[in-house]
Amino acid sequence: MIPISDDVRSERFPIVTVLLILVNSAIFFMEVLLGPDADQLIRTFGFTPAQIVTNWYNPLVPLTLITAMYLHGGWAHLIGNMLYLWIFGNNVEDRMGPVRFFLFYTLSGILAGLAETIAAPTSMTPGIGASGAIAGVLGAYLLLYPRARVQVLLPLPIWFATFSVPAILVLGGWFVMQLFNGLIALDVTAQTGGVAWWAHIGGFVAGMLLMPLFRQKRRPTYSYYDRSW
Note the pLDDT tens digit of each residue in 109-150.
999 999 999 998 998 999 999 999 999 999 999 999 999 999
Q: Quick one: DSSP state of residue 7?
A: S
Partners of residue 162 on adjacent β-strands: 153
Asked if 211 and 135 count as a contact pair (C-beta separation under 8 A), the reply is: no
* Separation between Cα atoms, residue 71 and residue 42, nearest integer Å: 7
- pLDDT bracket for residue 193 (50, 70, 90): low
Asked if 152 and 170 count as a contact pair (C-beta separation under 8 A), the reply is: yes
Predicted pLDDT of residue 195: 80
Question: What's the burial of 222, exposed, middle or buried (CB within 10 Å: 0-12/13-18/19+)?
Answer: middle
Phi, psi of 177 (to 5 degrees): -65, -40
Q: Which residues contact 116 (CB under 8 A, 6 or more apart)?
A: 49, 127, 132, 196, 198, 199, 202
* pLDDT surpasses 70 at 218: no
pTM: 0.89
| Dihedral, 203, 84, 67, 181 alpha carbons, nearest 10 | 50
* Mean predicted confidence (pLDDT) in 20-25: 98
Coil, helix or strand at residue 47: strand
Select the more confidently predicted residue: 161 or 121.
121
Coil, helix or strand at residue 148: coil
* Separation between Cα atoms, residue 13 and residue 121, nearest integer Å: 40
- Percent of the chain having pLDDT more than 90? 72
pLDDT digits (tens, 9 = 90+) for 43-79: 999 999 999 999 988 989 999 999 999 999 999 999 9
Asked if 151 and 91 count as a contact pair (C-beta separation under 8 A), the reply is: no
Q: Of the ranges 20-24, 203-207, 223-227, which one carries the lowest mean pLDDT score? A: 223-227
Highest mean pLDDT among 8-12, 100-104, 158-162, 172-176: 100-104
